[in-house]
Amino acid sequence: MEKKWKSSPVQCWGKAKELRMKIYQEIKDAKAQGKVLIGGGAESLIAIPTGFDHNILVGEPYGASISYLYKDNPDLYFQIVEAAEHAGYPRDLCAYMRNYLGSVILDKYIFGGHFPKLDFCLQAGFCDTHSKWYQAVSEIEKIPYFSLDLVPFDWEIAGESEKTKQLKRDYIVSQIYEAIEWMEKTIGKKFDDEKFIQGVINESESTSLWAKVCILNRAIPAPLDEKTILSFYILAVLGRPRQDVVDFYKELLAEVEDRVANQIAANPYERARVMTDSQPPWFALDFFRLLESYGVVSVGAHYSFGLSGGWEYDEAGKTWNAARPPSEQGVELKTREDAAKWLADWWLSTGTVCRGVRHSGIGKIQRMKDLVDKWHVDGLIVHLNRGCEGTSLGQMDFVQTLMKEGLPVMTFEGNHADPREYDEKRTFARIESFMETMGLKQVYEYKKY
Partner 1 sequence: MIAIGYDLGSAYSKVVIMKDGKVIGKGIAKTTMEPLESVAAARDAALKEAGIDEKQIDKVGITGSGRKLIKTADVDTTDVSADAAGVNYFDKEYKTALDVGGEEARALKVSADGKVINFAVNDKCAAGAGAFVEAMTRAMQLTLEEFASASLESTQKIPINAQCAIFAESEVVSLISDETPRQDICRAVHDGIAERLTSMAKRVGLEEKVALIGGAVMNKGLVKSIKDGLGMEATVLPDPLFVGAIGIAVLAAKS
User: What residues line the site for partner 1 (CB under 8 A)?
Assistant: 384, 400, 403, 408-409, 411-413, 423, 426, 429-430, 432-434, 436-437, 439, 447, 449
Cβ closer to partner 1: 376 or 430? 430
Catalogue the E-assigned strands of 14-71: 36-40, 54-58
Phi, psi for residue 23 in degrees, rounded to 5: -65, -45
State the minimum distance, in angstroms, from the CB of residue 389 to partner 1. Answer: 17
Instruction: Give the angle 260-223-416 at the CA atoms, nearest 5°.
Output: 150
Cβ closer to partner 1: 47 or 440? 440
State the minimum distance, in angstroms, from the CB of residue 447 to partner 1. Answer: 7
Cβ closer to partner 1: 21 or 396? 396
State the minimum distance, in angstroms, from the CB of residue 259 to partner 1. Answer: 34
Q: What is the DSSP string of 96-165?
A: HHHHHHHHHHHT--TTSSSPP--SEEEEETTSHHHHHHHHHHHHHHT--EEEE---PPPPGGGT--HHHH
Give dist(CA 329, CA 323) in Å, integer. 10
Do residues 66 and 110 lie in contact, with contact meaning Cβ atoms separated by under 8 Å? yes
Give dist(CA 394, CA 372) in Å, integer. 17
Give dist(CA 366, CA 370) in Å, integer. 6
Cβ closer to partner 1: 254 or 403? 403
Cβ closer to partner 1: 246 or 402? 402
Cβ closer to partner 1: 21 or 429? 429
Which DSSP state fits 317?
T
State the minimum distance, in angstroms, from the CB of residue 74 to partner 1. Answer: 20
Identify the three-state secondary structure at position 338.
helix
State the minimum distance, in angstroms, from the CB of residue 410 to partner 1. Answer: 8
State the minimum distance, in angstroms, from the CB of residue 432 to partner 1. Answer: 5
Cβ closer to partner 1: 86 or 289? 289
- Cβ of 358: how many Cβ atoms within 10 Å? 21
State the minimum distance, in angstroms, from the CB of residue 382 to partner 1. Answer: 12
Give dist(CA 345, CA 152) in Å, integer. 9
